[in-house]
Structures are given as C-alpha cells and as structure tokens.
Structure 1
Amino acid sequence: MSLSKPGDLIADATTRLTAAGVPSPLNDAELLLAHVLGIGRGGLPLVGDVAADASAAYAALVERRAGREPLQHILGSAGFRYADIVVGPGVFTPRPETELLAGWAVEQAQALTDRTPVVVDLCTGSGAIALSVATEVPGARVHAVELDPGAVAWAERNLAGTGVELREGDMADAFTDLDGTVDVVVCNPPYIPLTEFEGVDEEARTHDPALALFSGEDGLEAMRVLERVAARLLRPGGVVGAEHADLQGETAPAVFSASGRWADVRDHRDLAGRPRYLTARLARTLSG
C-alpha cells in the first residue's frame, strides 16, 4: 500500500486550488485533509503517513473544491460563534461577519435582567443567529422565521432541541401574535441589488439560494419590509439590528431614520472596517 506525506498532499492540493481561483487555497487544503483524517486542523503536524485510500478520498474532495463547491458544503458544516452550523445545498452559508450581528443580539438579550427576553430572528436561513441567542442566553424566548422551504429544513436540524420556535413563512406577516411584545428583532436579510447579479461571487451565485441574496433594484426592498415589521413587533424601546452590504452604510440606516419611528439609529463596522450592520431603538409605535 503506497503512503503519502501530508505535507506533499497539502502542497499539491494548494497548487490545484490556487489554479482554480479558490480565495484561500492553503486554508482549504488543510481543512479538507483534516476532515478526511477525522482530526482537527491543529493535529495535522502530528500525522505521519497518509494511506492510499485516504489520499484518494482527499483528492476527490480537492477536486470538488476546485470546481468551486463551497468548502462548508463539502465539510457539511460552518463554524459560527460557538456552534457548528450544518449546511448544504439549499441554504445560505453563514458568513463570519454575521457573527458580529449575532453578538449584538446576544448582548441586547443578556442586558434584560428584569424579565425573560423575547427575541425574533427574521430571515433565519440556517438558524445560525437564532441558535447563538438561544444557546448563549439561556431562558430567552427565541422565535425564528424563514420563507424558503429548503432553508427551513436546514434550520430545523440546527435548531432541534434548542427551544427556538421556528416557523415557515414571509417575514412581512410573521409573528402577528407577538406584536408589541418583542425586545430584540435581528435580521440578516437579502440585500444585493438585482442589477449586481453578474458581480456576485461565483460560489454565492451558484450555491446560495437567490432568495437569500437579492432584494430589488437597489438591494433595500427587504430592509424596508424589515423596518415596518420590526416596528410592529417591538415593544416601545425595543431594538432592531440588521446586516447590510458594505456600500449601504448610509442608505440602509436611512430607511429607518426616514420613517420617524426610530431613535439611536447607528451603523456599525465589521472587523475589516467596512459598514456591516445597523441598529435602532423603537421610539414610537405604529400608531404613535
């Protein structure tokens, strides 16, 4: 049985992935080999020789990645804050930058020490944000909604046993039974303009559901719906947080400022310094 050195396998895979235009070839090559060997990435330096069957399995995964199948689909999961989110075809893969928005939602819920916090995650997708709140704020009442049936199936897997109430439906008319009682609304809505279709990353355009990506001609159609829904759901003084594209650092918050229902409208940057999500506090009710 022929054996291979892990360093040689990783080097060859990195070359193959670089040629295919994969953005992080070495990272992906190492994660794929660790996955095949059933170890953590940090254990790779301790590996001696790799058997032929494992080398063949690795080569097959590298070819899938070279074909621009998302790494998370191949691995079957995506790390998100303190959890592994199961993902695959039919659901938007949660991105690291969204962890900041999830962290904001967790902090807002944790700050409510005088009562059980009520949190609603709109456009939940894989359920990543709802899962973060539910697991990091024990006792919180967390509700989530998703329109895409394919994504709902993945959210059901991720949220099973967490106590999160998951519903399938449109955020526009979701949770009317909670109107005026919610403390925190959080949402990672679709926000890419339809006019930018050709400019979307190849992997996202091919593998992420269109419902999770595109939102009208200016990318703010879902944000306008969110503004109305959040105003309906939140109790006075409740807060909303929503992710947006890095070019929407002024236009997305303006959706909230223009309605006259919100105070403390702020935009927040991600770790790379790019505008990433907005937050606002409900100052007036829909009738107020």
Structure 2
Amino acid sequence: MPHLRPLLSQLTRAIGRHSAEVELKWMKGTLDNPPSGIRQSCRSLEEMVARRAAGEPLQYILGSQPFGPLELAVRPPVLIPRPETEDWTMRLAETLTPSPSRPAKILDLCTGTGCIPLLLCHLWPAGSIHATAIDISPDAIQLAKENAVLCGITAYGDASTQPLTTPQAKNTFMPILADLLHPEFITQARLEPPYDLITSNPPYIPQAEYDALPASVKDYEDIQALLGDSPSPHASGAPAEDRTKGLTFYHRIAALVGGHGLLRAGGTLALEVGAGQAPAVAAIVQAKAGVDKIDVWKDPWGKERVVVARR
C-alpha cells in the first residue's frame, strides 16, 4: 500500500526488509482488530513504527504475546514469555494428568506474566489445578492478575482475601508478591506445602552474558527477571563460584524443596535453564532437593532447556 511505504522504509532501516514487512502487517492488524481485553498503548501505526525503530520489543508495542492457545497481555518491564518456555509447558501439560477427583496444587516461582500456571490452568480439566504464582515484582503480579482475568481463570488476590471471581469447580490461580531469596520466604509468601508440581523459569543469565545482551532486552525487560547472579546476602545458599554463573536461584529453589517439604512425594519439579547450565542445575537439584529421578528436556532448537525432577 503506497501510504505505508515511508513507514516500511523507516522500519527496514532498523530491522531489515523482511522483518519490517512482517512486523508492519502485525502492527496494522493489531490496530485494525485489537485483541479483546488487552490494553493498547499505541494509537497510530506511526507511533508503533517509531517505537520499534527505536529498539522496543514488538510484543510490548502490540501489547500481547501468544502462549500456546492463550493470548497474554505483556508490557514493560515484565519479562516477555519465550517460545522455549511455551514448548516445555505444553509438554508438561501432556505428561501429567491431574483431574477434578485428584486435583493438583502447583507452585510457580518467578511467574512474570503468569504464563506457565495460566497455560496449565487452561489446558487441564476444570477443577483439577490450584496454582500459586510468586514474583518479587509488583508489576509482574499485577499483570499476572490481569492475565488470569483475561484468560477466564478464577483468580484470588492473595491467601488472605476472597477470590476475585467466585470458584465453581474451576481451576484457580493465586499470584503473590514475595522475595524468593528472603530467609523467611515461605512465611512471607504464606505458602501451604506440599505441592504436587513446582515450576520455575527463574533468572539465570550470568552477569557477563547480561552485559552483552542487546539494548532491546536490557533497556526494556526487568533485570530482576534476567540476571541470575544475585548480590543479595540472602543468596548465601549458593557457593561463591556459582553466584557468577547464573545459578543462584537454582540453589535456593533446590534447598527449599529439599529442606522445607515444598514438594509432595510423587511430585514433579520443572526448572528452565540457560544455555549449558543443565548439568550444573541437575547436580544442584540432585544434591539439595531430595529427588529420585532427574531428566533433561531439550527445546525445539536442540538446546537442553529444562531440568525435570521427580520425588
């Protein structure tokens, strides 16, 4: 279309011709038919193109990101759900079989948009899952609540309040603001173990790799959701050498599972990992979590992406 040529040229200079053509169509499609219930931050195609040319991730500009059959709201600084996370969540949904007669309690740590537990709530039968989702970011918790409503999942405000909607043999979702690395985390988060399934896509990028990330990531997505090297004195469970390898949160999660009874006998622990981290994370889980069997799942691109442990 002739009137789009200046915008296409502007976008091409920033991201290349092919990507510009594809993304311009997505932008126009979102403006013409905005996803139901998702807050739009752009009022014109010109604004969208200007923001994208400046380096902002497309998902934040569109305001949404597909995740399995769901369309989730996204906005900065909350981490954008990635395809590799979607892949293993779908696989997990096919591997486990909760039912209304045997409902599962799920704990998702570092939940971000709520993508993992919300997709499981959507895929599993009504009344078969009760999910608790934890994050340190108020922005993430607010967005996770909005996504629950958007996806039609019964959501609770927190452990001490009434549900945001009335449960009627439905899957439920409770997002809670808490610091996973805090010494009194379990009390702070008002957890009620044991859980049948614990999932997490924790921060796992080492500082050296984080420093080399493109500006489109570092300038927009929350560093707390990415950097796995925590300077926090609360992270003392990780040896000094592992606190520079993006492994801090795996030590904490494994210690909580092994020392505080978070995971039920017969339960499953699923942890997303970064490139090359699977052997180290498997060893941490083996040493600290008190599990019997550990598997490593590869993502569709052949990378070891998830450490799955069973008690």
| Mapped pair 1:20 → 2:14 | yes
Normalized against structure 1, the TM-score is what? 0.82
CA distance in 2, matches of 1:85, 1:192: 24
Partner SS for 2:276 = helix
1:273 partner letter: G
Partner SS for 1:24 = helix
Q: Partner residue of 2:141? A: 152
Partner SS for 1:119 = strand
Structure 1 residue 111, shift from structure 2 partner: 4.9
CA contact (8 A) 2:255 2:289 kept: no
Instruction: Say if 1:269 and 1:17 are closer, same or farther in 2 by CA, change over 3 A.
Output: farther
Structure 1 residue 94, shift from structure 2 partner: 0.7
Q: Partner residue of 2:131? A: 142
Aligned counterpart for 2:245 among listed residues 207, 218, 237? 218
| Mapped pair 1:251 → 2:280 | yes
| Mapped pair 1:178 → 2:192 | yes
Partner SS for 1:227 = helix
Q: Partner residue of 1:62? A: 49
Q: How does 1:11-90 map to 2 (within 5 A)?
A: 13-21=7-15, 24-38=19-33, 57-90=44-77
Q: How does 1:182-261 map to 2 (within 5 A)?
A: 182-216=195-229, 217-231=244-258, 232-259=261-288, 261=290
Which deviates more, 129-138 or 169-178? 169-178
1:29 partner letter: L
Q: Partner residue of 1:45? A: none
Instruction: Say if 1:262 and 1:33 are closer, same or farther in 2 by CA, change over 3 A.
Output: same
Deviations 1:51-73 (A, max 9, x none): xxxxx922321111111111111
2:255 partner letter: R
Q: Partner residue of 1:44? A: none
CA contact (8 A) 1:78 1:94 kept: yes
| Mapped pair 1:168 → 2:144 | no
CA distance in 1, matches of 2:263, 2:99: 14
Partner SS for 1:166 = strand
Which one has a bigger Cα radius of gyration? 1
CA distance in 2, matches of 1:117, 1:183: 6
Output the aligned Cα RMSD: 2.4
- For structure 2, list consecutive stretches of 5 or more residues without a partner in the other structure: 36-42, 155-171, 230-243
Q: Partner residue of 2:300? A: 271
Deviations 1:166-224 (A, max 9, x none): 11102352456422x21111101000011222211321111110110001111010111
Across the two proteins, how many residue pairs are aligned to each other?
260
| Mapped pair 1:116 → 2:116 | no
CA contact (8 A) 2:256 2:289 kept: no
The runs of 4+ residues in structure 1 deviating greater than 6 Å are: none
CA distance in 1, matches of 2:89, 2:197: 11
CA distance in 2, matches of 1:177, 1:60: 43
CA distance in 2, matches of 1:254, 1:17: 46
Q: Partner residue of 1:49? A: none
Normalized against structure 2, the TM-score is what? 0.76
CA distance in 2, matches of 1:14, 1:262: 54
- For structure 1, list consecutive stretches of 5 or more residues without a partner in the other structure: 41-55, 283-288
Q: Alignment identity in percent? A: 28
CA distance in 1, matches of 2:32, 2:191: 49
